[in-house]
A and B are shown apart, each in its own frame.
Chain A
Amino acid sequence: MPPELSNPKLQLAFALVIGALGTYLLLPKPKRRSIASGLFLLIAAVSILGLFVVQTFGKPIGEFIPDILFWLFSTGAIGFGTLQVVQRNPARGAIAFAFVILSSCGLFLLLAAPFLMAATIIIYAGAIIVTFLFVLMLSNVKGASNENDRSREPLLGSLAGFAFIGLILFTLLHAKPVEAASISGEFTELNLPAALLTSDDRSSLREVRIELDKALANDDAKAAAEGAKAAHDKLAEIIGGDGVSGQRKSVLERLRPLIGDPKKPMTHDPRLLAFTKQTLQLQKANHDLEGHLLSSADASDKQSLQKLRDEVTVYSGQGQLPARNVSNIGLLLYSEHLLAVEMAGTLLLVATIGAVAIAGRKKGVAV
């Protein structure tokens, strides 16, 4: 690869310009569209964008299945989105939109939002069916029509839209050092409780869970106690006697000169500030976690064993998210966001009345 092509800004600009051009070529026009060249440009743009993402934000290597799913869903969302935008026929556009919804729902799932995924699919399925009905009702056009075969300012519109993408990505590119510093090395994870552990920790925790499962499945109390003991030993090995595992300890040692005295006011560098804050949070969470695990592991009866198993499951990144997700969202909605819920309900009611009022046939008005 030539060195100048590894410059992320250049990649970004290039991807956006040819993406805009490709979209422009593909947008419906009375003249013949050059679908082939447009498609080619778009695919090239997406590839360069992928390259940019990989180079800038890191290669998705590690847990294979989620990465594959991410690439699948994001490519699907973007591809079907493009299809929806450039599609002449609104009915086909609606189908493309359905696929966009499905793909983005997959991304929702990857972001641990199963309830939202389900809600989106259900609601948008309804919405898309209604849209379909409208298309069938109103746009039953055979042959060419103004609305389907013309675009309003296609070149300027594509440039404006892609300029927006470019702005967001450029901002991301510049915000990256903060993020990179905070999730560098072994801490590259999203900030779930599980993410406080290194990936090695997590695979070890998974083994602990298997041990615990075995112990729980065993009806014999003595065997169960042995299993629990084994699991406990393993946990102690992971976390370490003083509450910090050896691997994490070395990382913290490496970070310490960067942090300085946590009591003292930080320098004005926002990156260092963010980094320090995150590190301190990490330390505190780590301490809590270890205390929790150790206290749970002390108990040897089956009930506490079950509890410990649940905790370990969560922290090993294989939690029972769906059930908790729904209940927690419910709790949040009806505790913190009660007013917003009420207002959203009112909004829906008003919108319903408004829709009926607007679309209702009025007497004596020729339509």
Chain B
Amino acid sequence: MLDPSTPIGMALIAAVLPLAGAVLAGLLACVRLGRFAHLPAILSFASASVISAVVLAGVAEGHDSLSISTDLGTWFSVGRLNVSFAFLLDPLSLIMLATVTFIATFIAVFSAGYMHGDPGYARYFSIMSLFVFAMCLLVMSNNFFMLLAGWEGVGLCSYLLVGYYYAKPSAAAAARKAFLVTRLGDVGLVLGIFLLWQVGGYETNFDAIFAHIAQYPPASGTITTICLLLFCGAIGKSAQLPLYVWLPDAMEGPTPVSALIHAATMVTAGVFLLARCAPLFVLSPEAGLIVACIGGATALLAGFLALAQNDLKRVLAYSTVSQLGFMFLALGCNGVISPKVAVVAAMFHLFTHAFFKALLFLGSGSVMHAMGNVIDMRKFGGLRKLMPWTHATFVIGSAALAGVPLLSGFWSKDQILHGLLEAGESHAKYHTMYFGLFAVALATACLTAFYTFRAYFLTFWGNERTPPEAHGHAHESPAIMLVPLVVLAAGALFVGVLVDPLTHWFGHFLERSPSITEAHTGYLAHSNMIEKPHEFSWFVAGLSTLAVAVGIGGATALYRRGGPEKVPPALKGLYSLSLNKLYVDETYGIAVVKPAEMLATTGRQFDGFLDAITRLITYLPRLIAALLRPLHNGLVQFYALGMVLGLAVFLTVVVFRSAR
């Protein structure tokens, strides 16, 4: 039996608490106490985050590998496939757990104010708790099947939350789109898991699989295939090219849901998966290159798309896609440079991004709350006097996202850029490609700074304008919504500088994760490189600062007077391309949806044909019935006659057969 006083026991309790919260919130709704449904959610998240912080503090010091696994019994067993309820506590999962529960706590607090009075209040908090539980399950799992369970649970909850306003057709369509598009990636993930299971000696636990593969390395083609299939799942879940289209549409849910999806629970799952499988990616430079290329392309493209969006949340959504691209850029370097740098950089960016992206979304939610649910930046502006707290926290978040030096975003982005440059300078197979990617990342950083501040200026500067939906009494949000903003802003300000550049605690702690240790061993064996200590590079920091300065400067020059937007005529074409999202949705519509519809139409016609045949066949019994029905005339004696005649025929056959 599991001892709750051990670190893994406490972590499991922290992971299960949101489930209890979900059940309790649902039960509250059953007894007509739905208006208190936020309490179990907030309390369970808060206690989970406290517990995980305690666990984190307990294991934070030390240098040896940290990995505590437990097995709570068999889940199912089919042939050689034995899956158990296996959980793993290592720095990777612990950091994810702490981040998720911490961020979720404040999002829940914010939601309590934001969703106040909504008819689906209890449903909202119940699903949200379930969402967090699924994510905790995902990060705590010690085998691919538990991970898949959490993965799909996250997908399901995101479907339910994006489609929270299910009466709205656009929300229902967005939920369906999110579900179906991520499903495309999941096919690859499942295939990859089973291929890995087969290659990994029919083991299911991570460490066993990785150990088996390290001992009996399969063909490099197989490894690359597995890596790419796993990456497929990550592409779907983490909204990378070409499956990123669902994330901007997922704005249809309540804003705190967007915060949750973007910051903590959903999109980070792909990054986590790749970090978890780092020992595999080390073995396949091709897969790493593809990951990096897709990440880079996504980062640049999403950054471009974010330039001209009028919807504040949509800008943020594209920025998330772009930042996720950054993380995959870092993960793509894994193997070319030490995973101790690459994976740590990706996880660090994930960590800091969670703070400022949650902050930005909650800030935009605050704006939306004040503007009567209007989020189109053309309809309002100059809100800095009206909403001072929101403005202050929003500017911190924007600066962190843009990568202004000394803020958290700066440090994590710097690590990624540094990693890319190091990869380019290395002597690995495709090292020149990484120079290109470095340039892409720099450009993206510039774009990020530009669009972030464009959105900021358009919202908070210029003449004070409010949309008619606000009914003229737009006001600062209540304290319950401001407290999370302040806390997250503090996080966005300080978490980066506190955690990494001064102490390097984050990197050292993460390095103790067995995934990264094993990956590092593999990396050393593979590339016979001398391990270089990670150092702060003034060159990279200077370049990125320059890029940020250019971006912010451009945005200030163009938009410091606020809206409405004036586009320079020379850039009209680019602007309209960005505004129309490069016509990607339309292209997908023509390339994928139309053929599917045509196939469906053909199938329907064929179905009609089959139905006609079936109906034709059904006429036969009807015909026979029409012939036989008159026999059923209601006269019991007639029935008896039929019985006797039948019996006579039967007996005749029997008697004459036996007499012969």
Instruction: Please report A residues at the B interface, Cβ cutoff 8 Å.
Output: 152-153, 156-157, 160-161, 163-164, 167, 170-171, 174
B638 in the interface (beta carbon within 8 A): yes
Per a CB cutoff under 8 Å, which of A152, A153, A164, A171 touches B648? A164
- Stretch in B171-179, B271-279, B651-659 with 4+ CB within 8 Å of A: B651-659
Residue contacts A-B, CB under 8 angstroms, 12 given: A152-B637, A152-B638, A152-B641, A157-B641, A160-B644, A160-B645, A161-B644, A163-B648, A163-B652, A167-B651, A167-B655, A174-B658
A160 touching B655, Cβ below 8 Å: no
Contacts of A174 in B (CB 8 A): 655, 658-659
A167 to B655, CA, bound (A): 7
A164-B644 in contact (CB<8A)? yes
Which residues of chain B come closer than 8 Å to A170, judged between CB atoms?
Answer: 655, 659
CB-contact partner of A171 in B638, B644, B645, B655, under 8 A: B655
Q: Identify the closest chain A residue to B647 (Cβ).
A: A164
Q: In the complex, A163 Cα to B652 Cα: how many Å?
A: 9
CB proximity of A173 to chain B, nearest CB, Å: 9
Contacts of A157 in B (CB 8 A): 641
Tell me whether B635 is interfacial, beta carbon within 8 Å. yes
Please give the distance in Å from A107's CB to the nearest CB on chain B: 25
Main secondary structure on A side of the interface with B: helix
Query: Which residue of chain A is the closest to B656 with respect to CB atoms?
Result: A170
A163's nearest neighbour on chain B, judged by CB, is B648
Q: Are B641 and A153 in contact (CB under 8 A)?
A: yes
B157: min CB distance to chain A, Å: 64
What is the count of residue pairs linking A and B with beta-carbon distances less than 8 angstroms? 31
Looking at the assembled complex, report how far the CB atom of A7 sits from the nearest CB atom of chain B, in whole angstroms. 15
Query: Nearest chain-A residue to B643 (Cβ)?
Result: A160
Question: Is A156's CB under 8 angstroms from B645's CB?
Answer: yes
Contact A153 B655 (CB under 8 A): no
Majority SS at the chain B contact face: helix
Bound form: Cα–Cα A157–B655 in Å: 21
Closest to B658 in A: A174
A75 to chain B, nearest CB (A): 26
Give every chain B residue within 8 A of A160 (Cβ-Cβ). 641, 644-645, 648
With contacts A167-B655, A174-B659 known, is A152 near B644, CB below 8 A? no
Using an 8 Å CB-CB cutoff, how does the interface string of B257-289 with A read, 1 for contact, 0 for none? Answer: 000000000000000000000000000000000
B641 — which chain A residues lie within 8 A by C-beta?
152-153, 156-157, 160
CB neighbours of B635 from chain A (8 A): 152
Q: Tell me the bound Cα distance from A174 to B654 in angstroms.
A: 13
Within 8 A of A (CB), among B620-660: 635, 637-638, 641, 644-645, 648, 651-652, 655, 658-659
A328 vs B652: C-alpha distance when bound (angstroms): 39
Separation of A153 and B643 alpha carbons in the complex (Å): 14
**Nearest CB in chain A to that of B660: its residue:** A174
Min Cβ gap B12→A in Å is 66
Q: Is the CB of A153 within 8 A of B652?
A: no
Known: A152-B638, A167-B652. 7 other contacts (CB 8 A): A152-B641, A153-B637, A160-B641, A160-B644, A160-B645, A167-B648, A174-B655
Considering residues B637, B644, B658, which has the most beta carbons from chain A within 10 angstroms of its beta carbon? B644
Distance of A153 Cα from B631 Cα, bound (Å): 13
Interface residue ranges of B354-383 to A (CB < 8 Å): none
Question: How distant is A260 from chain B, measured CB to nearest CB, in Å?
Answer: 26
Whole-angstrom distance from the CB of A146 to the nearest CB of chain B?
13
- Residues on A with C-beta less than 8 A from B652 are 163, 167
Contacts of B638 in A (CB 8 A): 152-153
Q: Report the Cα distance A156→B644, complex, angstroms.
A: 10
Bound together, the chains give a CA A251 to CA B78 distance in angstroms of 77
Q: How far is the CA of A163 from the CA of B649 in the complex (A)?
A: 9
Q: Which of B635, B637, B638, B648 counts the most A-chain CB atoms under 10 A from its CB? A: B648
- Residues in chain A near residue B645, CB distance under 8 A: 156, 160
A167: B residues at CB distance < 8 A: 648, 651-652, 655
The smallest beta-carbon distance between A303 and chain B, in angstroms, is 55
Chain A residues, Cβ within 8 Å of B651: 164, 167
A160 to B638, CA, bound (A): 12
Closest to A151 in B: B637
Bound-state CA distance A164–B637 (Å) is 17
A171: chain B residues within 8 A (beta carbon) = 655, 659
What separation, in Å, do the CA atoms of A164 and B644 have in the docked complex?
A: 9
**Nearest Cβ distance between residue A212 and chain B, in whole angstroms?**
50
Q: How far is the CB of A170 from chain B (nearest CB, A)?
A: 6
Complexed CA–CA distance, A152 and B637 (Å): 8
B536 CB, nearest partner CB in chain A, Å: 102
Most buried by B among A152, A160, A163, A164: A160
* A164 neighbours in B (Cβ, 8 Å): 644, 648, 651
User: What is the CA–CA distance of A290 and B95 in the complex, to the nearest angstrom?
Assistant: 109
In the bound complex, what is the Cα–Cα distance between A174 and B656 (angstroms)? 10
Please measure, in the bound complex, the distance between the C-alpha atom of A171 and the C-alpha atom of B652, giving whole angstroms: 10
CA distance A60 to B521 in the complex (A): 113
Residue of A with least CB distance to B649: A163
Distance of B29 from chain A, by nearest CB (Å): 53
> What's the least CB distance linking B94 to chain A, in Å?
77
A161-B659 Cα distance, complex, nearest whole Å:
21
Chain B residue with the shortest CB-CB distance to A152: B637
Chain A residues within 8 Å of B655, by CB: 167, 170-171, 174
Neighbouring A residues of B637 by C-beta, 8 Å: 152-153
| A157 CA / B652 CA spacing, docked (Å) | 17
In the assembled complex, how far is the CB of residue B397 from the closest CB belonging to chain A, in whole angstroms?
Answer: 85
Q: B423-448 toward A: CB 8 Å interface, digit per residue (1/0)?
A: 00000000000000000000000000
Query: Could you say which residues of chain A place their CB within 8 Å of the CB of B644?
Result: 160-161, 164
Q: CA of A160 to CA of B644 in the docked complex: distance in angstroms?
A: 7
Hey, what's the 0/1 contact readout for B44-87 against A, CB within 8 Å counting as 1? 00000000000000000000000000000000000000000000
For the complex, what is the distance from the CA of A163 to the CA of B645, rounded to whole Å?
Answer: 9
What are the 6 A-B residue pairs with the smallest beta carbon separation, nearest first?
A: A163-B648, A160-B644, A174-B659, A152-B637, A167-B651, A160-B645
